[in-house]
Amino acid sequence: MKIICIGRNYTEHIAELSNEKPENPVIFLKPDSAILLKNNPFVIPAFSNDVHYEVEVLVKISRLGKHIDKKFAHKYYEEIGLGIDFTARDLQSKLKEKGLPWEKAKAFDGSAVISNFISKEDHDINNTAFQLYKNDSLVQNGNTSNMLWKVDEIIAYVSQFFTLKIGDVIFTGTPAGVGKVLTNDILIGKLSDKAMFKIKVK
């Protein structure tokens, strides 16, 4: 499976990190070794002093596809979920300054939280609320209606470059409110008020 991530897909998040609004979706990948195993804590890696949480709606690909037309993209996924794209922000900043790839800051072991998946039929994928709570305080509050590129647009665009396979997961971008995690933090993600994951930080 591939983990395909979309960066800079919410205007307020672009602003909070002082990034430029892209002309096309920003794509990066995570290996399957980045998946945080179920019931495991997230361990802050030794190479970073500034790991950030980024909550995102996930889409799981359900059929093989390449060069998918946007009008048919909805046929390529049946389930959605919620996840966290953990980011070593200090390392990412150094890499960006040098024009280098982000993988060391984005794709390290345990950097991808993936919840269980639920049927998309119970949600309007273009108007679904989701939240992240840190130690019971709301830190991120998003809605897919605020995406610069909607899910079907993302699938169509990504499929121009990568063949999408059954089981691939797309991280669709994070809203504003990203921030640093500390040892003993508890992170809870909700999708349409349904708790999707609970992660302890070590």
pLDDT block averages, 10 residues each, the chain of length 202:
93 66 88 96 98 98 98 98 98 95 96 97 94 98 95 97 98 95 98 96 98
Cβ neighbour number for residue 12 with a 10 Å cutoff: 11
Given this model, what pLDDT does residue 23 score?
Answer: 84
54 in Cβ contact with 178 (< 8 Å): yes
152, containing H or E segment: helix 151-158
Determine the pLDDT at residue 11.
74
Tokens of 73: 């993209």
Q: Which residue has the tokens 């709301």?
A: 138
Q: Which domains does the chain have, with CATH numbers?
A: 3-200 (3.90.850.10)
- The backbone torsions φ and ψ at residue 137, rounded to the nearest 5 degrees and listed phi first, read -105, 135
pLDDT at 15: 62
pLDDT of residue 65: 98
* Per-residue pLDDT at 16: 65
Residue 18 is predicted with a pLDDT of 63
pLDDT the model gives residue 29? 97
What single DSSP character describes residue 20? P
In residues, how long is the chain?
202
Q: How high is the pLDDT of residue 13?
A: 61
What pLDDT was estimated at residue 111?
A: 98
